[in-house]
Structures are given as structure tokens and as C-alpha cells.
Structure 1
Amino acid sequence: MSKIKVSAVSYTNTLPFLQGVKASEKLLHQIDLSVDVPAECARKVIQDEVDMGIIPVAALTRIPNYHIITDYCIGSDGAVDSVFIFSTKPIEEITSLRLDKQSRTSNGLARILLKHYWKREVAVTMEEEADAYVLIGDRTFGQKETVPYVYDLGEIWKKFTGLPFAYAVWVSNKKLSDDFVKDFNAALRDGVSHPTDVIDGLKSYPNFDYKEYLTEYLDFNLDAGKREAISRYLEFYKELEEIDFKGV
């Protein structure tokens, strides 16, 4: 039987999932696992280079027949502490925003909140200097105290909608067997049941607490509120003007 190709994200927020997957001998016999940045995970799923992956939710618009196949996600109910707009001036004064090349979803979230929450129309760029910039994942660790103005997009989304948020979900581009999905779900459940086990050996950062991040900021359960948030986000996202984004 050919193995199911799986792409996972290389960020700390996915390590609890990976520890569950790697601890399941039954599952490891069934998969071929690669680890990538979010945009690359999405590209591989979209282009059918892998069968499934944990992908930014904006990429769902580019998969004709996607299947959200697990009960787990990268999510938060409020502040997430790794998806930010960093700014040199108050958000009410910015006129330009540089986007993050690693995740279309967070770029979309920033643009949605600027338009609908802050009521700001700003120029967006992928390359040029700007008043503010989107930054996500491990690259934000220890950075909050180095920038004059910091806006946690999970926190602002909660203020705007009253909903939690799901940044990335486990998605397949084809129907997978019920037995495999059951095994994969069980492995994820095991991994997120003890998330702080992944901390040992991770690089330390000033003013950043891995335990707090993994247990208080991240919420791995793909519950009804996060599913509603995905639907709301995709409605807003479809209204955005397309930009030249080299990832997906």
C-alpha cells in the first residue's frame, strides 16, 4: 500500500501535533511526512504534491474539493502571541503595511481587521518598507518589546467578532479512509494532551514563555466556534483585492 504524503508546519505551534504523530508507530507506517513553512504546506496540498497537510485557512479557497479531516487546528480564543502587526506608529496613523511571505491567512486577517475593525485603507506591499508589517510564528518570539506598537491579531479578531480563530487546519485534497483519519486524529489527540513535553531543547527568547504560549494562548480544538470563525473569515477574505503573493 502506498503511503499517504503529509506536510506539517515547522513552527513551535505544530510540535505538539508532531510529537503525537511520531509517537504512533501505527500511523508512521502509513505516512510519508515532510515539514515546511505554512505557505509551502499549502502549496503542496494545492498542487497535489502531498495528500494532506496543516494549511492556513485562506488556502481553502484554492482547493476545489477539500476535506477538513480532524478535530484539531492551530487556533486561539483571543490573543495567540505569534500572529502580529508590528508598527512604528499607532495603527490609526499607518498608511502602508508590509505582508508576511510565509502565510496568506495572516496577511488576510491583518487586511480584514484594518478595513473592518480599524476602518483603515492602507497600501500593502510584499517587498518595500512600510509603517507596519505582519509577522507570524517563531520569528515573533521575543520581538514584542523591540517594536513601538504591537497588535495581536487573535485578540483583535475576538474583539471584532466575538469568536475564536483557527489559523490552520488539517486538510486533505482527496477522500481518505475512515480508518486512517481515525488513527491520525488519535495521534493528534495524544500530542496535544501534553504539549509542554516539546519544550526541552527549544531556543530561549527574552520575555517569551513556551509553557504559557502552548497552554494559555494556543487552543488546538477545532470546535464549533472556530468552524464559524473560518466561515466568517472566508467571507471577508473573498472581498479582498488579490495581491501578488508568491506563496499560497
Structure 2
Amino acid sequence: MNKLRVARMPYLNSDVFYRGFEGKFELRPLVPRAMAWAIENREIDAGPLPVVEWFRMERDLAPVGDFCVATGKAAISILLYCKVPAAELSGRRIAVTEHTSTSVQLLRVLLAERWNAEGVELVAPETPADALLLIGDLALKNRHGVDGFPHMYDLGAVWHEHTGLPFVFARWVARRDADASQVAELEQALGRSLADGLRNIDALAAASSVGLSPAEAAAYVRSFTYRMGPDQRSALAAFRARLEQLPEWRPASPGARAGRRG
């Protein structure tokens, strides 16, 4: 039997999941958006999928245990940099990373609800823009700011201020047609890896290469929640309900508008 094909999220906040995986699973490094394409097209069997892609494909996907990637307040690595205050972004352009889907959709919700920004255009990263969205390790490397963009917002913190809830960025899922025994083995391996990783965060952090000191990297990893609980389930439901109030938008549509419905 072939090994289960598992997506490896190439970010520091997900390293706790993969300890001891070599040789047991076929690991494929994939950024969030590429992971969504791969699982939809049967190129992989499982991975920590962005939650908006899970919403879209849940008929074909099942959660693997209660494993997730969530923040309590600040996300630290989901950052919006603006030339003007966010409340003044109506009619302006935001360059969004092509690596993510959930973070862009969270941005759309906050633009509509928190900042009342209308007619915002989401454009490719290389396009001149009034604001810039970065995620993951690239955001960590620019956590002190980006030249020319004096206003910086942590989207996890803004969401928490707006709703009082944590935010779930990704959930471990597997294709429903994947081998059940292999998925069960993955669930057990994730539990072991997470327990070991959280016990050895300092060692994990010392190996990071994102421009953080070992102490900063350890604090960053500790700021995440990796298992779903009641608060995370409430947060998922709240995010999904808000997203359903917005016009549909897919990352594959360059220059799409992020405006409010109606």
C-alpha cells in the first residue's frame, strides 16, 4: 500500500505537527492555497487545510481529530500594512499574498464590518497598492513594519477586538475516500507529534530561520492553539456566517472587488 500523502505547511506555527513523520507518510511541502488545489485534485490525501477551503469542500473532506491552527488574540504572522489608516481604504487597492485564502477572506470580513471600507480592490502582490497583506514566515520577518506603510494591523487581534473570539486559520482534514486505517494512523501521529513538539518548543524554536530569537520564536509558537474546543468552534461558525454575507470571491480572480454586499 502506498503511503498517505500529507501536506506539510511550511510555516513555523505548523512545525509542531510533523515530528517523527519522515518515513511514515509521504510529505509534500505546500503553501495553503496550493494545498487546497492539491487535495481537491487528489494530489494529496490530508493536511492542515485553510478553513475557507474546508467550508467549500466539506462534502469530500473529514476532520482529522480536533487538530487545527488557531490564535487566541494576535496572530503575529497575519499582518496588513497600510499607507493610510484602514478606515480610509475605501476605493483603494490592497496587494494580497497568493499563498493564502483564509487570511484574505478574513481581511474581506474586517474591511466590511470593522472598517466600513467599500470598493476595495484586491490585487496581485507585485501590483502597486495602498496596502499589503503578508502571512506566515514572511510576515514574521517584517513584523516591525514595511517601509512606506506606516500603519500595521494584526488581523487576528482585530478580529478578536471585533468579536471577542479566537480565530481558526486551518483545520486538519483528510479526503473521505482516503484509506481509513491510514487516516487513523495520521491522527495518532499528529497527537504524538503535537505533544512532543509542545514539550520541546525551545528546541523547535532554536531551529527556526525567520529572523526571531529563540525566545521570540518559542513565544510565537506558544501563542497558537492546536486543538479545537468550544471557543474555536464558535469562532468558526461566526466567521462562516460573516463570510456568507459577502459577495463570493475566489483568489483565482485577479482584480476582484472586495466590497460589501448590497
TM-score bin, normalised by smaller chain: 0.7 to 0.9
Bigger CA drift: 164-173 or 95-104? 95-104
1:81 and 2:76 are equivalent in the alignment: yes
- Structure 2 Cα separation of the partners of residues 142 and 134 of structure 1: 13
TM-score, scaled to structure 2 = 0.83
Indicate conservation of the 8 Å contact 1:101/1:246, yes or no: no
Q: Which amino acid aligns with 2:50?
A: P
- 1:238 has 2:247 as partner: no
Q: Give unpaired runs (5+ residues) of structure 1.
A: 23-27
Partners of 1:135 and 1:110 in 2: CA distance: 11
Q: What are the superposed Cα offsets for residues 113-135 of structure 1, whole Å, 9 maximum, x if unpaired?
A: 11112222142222232211211
Aligned to 2:170: 168
Find the residue that maps to 2:80 and give its secondary structure. strand
State how far apart, in whole Å, the 2-side matches of 1:138 and 1:204 are: 6
3-state SS of paired residue (1:21)? coil
Q: Which residue of 2 aligns with 1:16?
A: 16
SS, match of residue 19 in structure 2: helix
Deviation at 1:106, TM superposition (A): 0.2
Give secondary structure in 2 for the equivalent of 1:209: helix
Q: Does 1:44 align with 2:38?
A: yes
Task: Summarize the alignment of residues 87-166 of structure 1 with structure 2, pairs less than 5 Å apart.
Answer: 87-95=82-90, 96=92, 97-127=94-124, 128-147=127-146, 148-166=150-168
Q: CA 1:195–1:221 in structure 2 vs 1: closer, same or farther (change >3 Å)?
A: farther
Q: What code does the residue aligned with 1:232 have?
A: A
| In 1, Cα distance between equivalents of 2:245 and 2:109 | 9
Number of equivalenced pairs: 240
1:210 to 207, 217, 226: 217
Q: Deviations over 1:159-207 (max 9, x none)?
A: 1111111101101121633742542342343233433321223225278
Deviation at 1:214, TM superposition (A): 1.1
Following the alignment from structure 1 to structure 2, what is the Cα–Cα distance between the partners of residues 13 and 206? 13
Q: Which runs of 5+ in 2 are unaligned?
A: 254-262
C-alpha contact (below 8 Å) 1:17/1:192 kept by paired residues: no
Over the residues paired in the alignment, what is the CA RMSD in angstroms?
2.2
| 2: CA distance, partners of 1:77 / 1:42 | 24
Partner of 1:55: 49
- What amino acid maps onto 1:41 in structure 2? M
Distance in 1, Cα, partners of 2:139 & 2:227: 23
Residues 155, 88 of structure 1: CA spacing in aligned structure 2 closer, same or farther, 3 A cutoff? same
Distance in 2, matches of 1:172 and 1:14, equals 17
* Cα pair 2:70 2:170 within 8 Å, conserved: yes
Residue number in structure 2 paired with 1:25: none
TM-score by length of 1: 0.87
Q: Quick one: distance in 1 between partners of 2:169 and 2:42?
A: 21
Please show how residues 185-224 of structure 1 align to structure 2 within 5 Å. Answer: 185-190=190-195, 191-203=197-209, 205=211, 209-215=216-222, 217-224=223-230
Distance in structure 1 (CA, Å) of the matches to 2:194 and 2:144: 34
* Cα distance in 1 between the residues matched to 2:20 and 2:199: 9
Greater Cα offset, 180-189 or 77-86? 180-189
Alpha-carbon distance change, 34 to 131 in structure 1, aligned in 2, over 3 angstroms: same
Preserved CA contact (<8 Å) 1:67 1:171: yes
Give, in whole Å, the separation in 2 of the partners of 1:185 and 1:202.
Answer: 20
